[in-house]
Amino acid sequence: MAIETGLSHVYPMGARLNERGVLELGGCDALELAREFGTPAYVMVEDDLRTRARAFIEAARAAGSKAGLAAESQEGRAAGSQAGLAVGHEHLAIVYASKASSCAALLRVFAQEGLWCDVASGGELHLALNAGFAPERLLMHGNAKSEAELRAALRHRLGLIVIDNFDEIDRLARLIAEGELADRAAQPVLIRATPDIRPDTHEKISTGQADSKFGFAMDQVSEAILLVRDVSGLELQGIHAHVGSQLLDLEPIHRAASQLSTLGAFPTWNLGGGLGVAYTSHQRPPSIEEYVGAVIEAARLHLGAHDRLLIEPGRSLTANAGVTLYTVESVKRNVSTWVAVDGGMSDNLRPMLYNALYEAEVVDRFGGDTACVLAGKHCESGDVIVREALLDDPRAGDVIVTPATGAYGHAMANNYNGVTRPPVIFCKDGQARLVVRRDSLDDLNARDVL
């Protein structure tokens, strides 16, 4: 997929500097967006989201035919493929991990593009259903699913529940015995395995290591399989592993696949998400095509002609489609030059959580060389958005952009220090539309009971 951008690949598709040298996103002038919607604001480029979704689906088809495999016909199974995975649209389902960003407009785009959706709570299930995902295209995750969440999953008979632990098997068995499935067919499930693989990523987003809070240890999986097969309302379809996020090296996926292959044969494999993205211009993550190709390559030797492979990309669908706009409130010089903006850890927690690196520019003066610290407005010294920013003579009133904030920004936003969470703006063909409004001050009191 060639995501065309006149700027570095960290910016959304089609982003450019216009004739006046101002950043343009989805054909909209960033200064005008800031004026119209205020700052901080998340800006998402709709065509970028759609292009990435289509690139995943197209990459699955292309990787399938390159591997000499028959693509699925409209009617169903591919004719004549005897061994290996037959990659077609239903043989390789792209499941959007909605934890990355779950506003209704964005979920609706991915539902329209034919993706599945992974929900990690009853709340995400509610959002995905409201956005138009059919229950059979939903998959529920969670290492601590509540009874209410499992009840909701069974009532809707989701496409898949990914079982994480022994208590969950007991709980599902009890809820089914109580009639939660009514007279519907058995609930399809996967078992999540922890393949004892630690990828090269931040420890807080590594999940595949033996000492993980997620999934069954490899030596517990066979017992889990027996227990699940014993519950008449559950249909064990396969196995799941997600080794971690922000993967810039795809080798751990191959290791995960060979680990999973020791667990037996299953008609469905889910190899999780985790494709890394470029947060800064020097980062060159694998492309969507390389990633999908690697996952298919890793899985196909272990899957039969009619088996199904699922992957769960989150950030790689949304991160680079979005940016955040801020306004500079003050510039202070001591040992460093501190450029303080009107947002921070309330709209982007990632620098605080993972020391995540970002870039920044003044939207109408790109390419500056004043070394500064782009600081947030919160009462924490650690509330720094970009530790080593290079800006062009930043002043109060300037509008600043930080690219690659389309994942885990809006999703993790909070009201610390009583700030009102930013709006989300969708831009397309020069038109901007508000898809999530800014919190009002009254929203800050909305849950108080006096």
Cβ neighbors of 43 (< 8 A, separation 6 or more) are: 25, 26, 28, 30, 33, 322, 323, 324, 325, 424, 425, 427, 432
User: Which range of residues in 241-249, 295-303, 353-361, 419-427 is near ligand PLP by CB under 6 A?
Assistant: 241-249
Q: State the Cα–Cα distance between residues 6 and 13, nearest whole angstrom.
A: 8
- Catalytic residue of the set 103, 117, 379, 427: 379
Toward ligand PLP, which CB reaches closer, 87 or 140? 140
Q: Decide: 277 and 236 in contact? Cβ < 8 Å.
A: no
Q: Which residue's entry shows tokens 């009514």?
A: 182
Binding residues for ligand PLP restricted to 300-339, rule: CB under 6 A = 312-316
Number of residues that bind ligand PLP (CB under 6 A): 18
Query: Tokens representing 318?
Result: 């949304």
Q: Which residue's entry shows tokens 């006149």?
A: 6
CA of 264: how far to CAs of 177, 186, 239, 285, in Å?
28, 22, 10, 32
Toward ligand PLP, which CB reaches closer, 70 or 140? 140
Minimum CB–partner distance for residue 331 and ligand PLP (Å): 34
Residues 77-116: x where in contact with ligand PLP by CB under 6 A, - otherwise, as a string? --------------------x-xx----------------
Toward ligand PLP, which CB reaches closer, 100 or 321? 100
Q: Decide: 344 and 377 in contact? Cβ < 8 Å.
A: yes
Known catalytic residue at 427: no
Q: Decide: 192 and 164 in contact? Cβ < 8 Å.
A: yes
Minimum CB–partner distance for residue 447 and ligand PLP (Å): 27
CA of 179: how far to CAs of 11, 151, 176, 303, 314, in Å?
50, 10, 5, 34, 34
Q: Is residue 252 a contact point for ligand PLP (CB under 6 A)?
A: no
The residue from 252, 273, 285, 376 that contacts ligand PLP (CB under 6 A) is 273
Toward ligand PLP, which CB reaches closer, 51 or 207? 207
The residue from 165, 194, 245, 259 that contacts ligand PLP (CB under 6 A) is 245
In the bound complex, which residue of the shown chain has the CB atom lying closest to ligand PLP?
314
Q: State the Cα–Cα distance between residues 36 and 320, nearest whole angstrom.
A: 23
Q: State the Cα–Cα distance between residues 227 and 209, nearest whole angstrom.
A: 24
Active site members: 379
Binding site for ligand PLP (CB under 6 A): 97, 99-100, 118, 141, 207, 242, 245-246, 272-275, 312-316
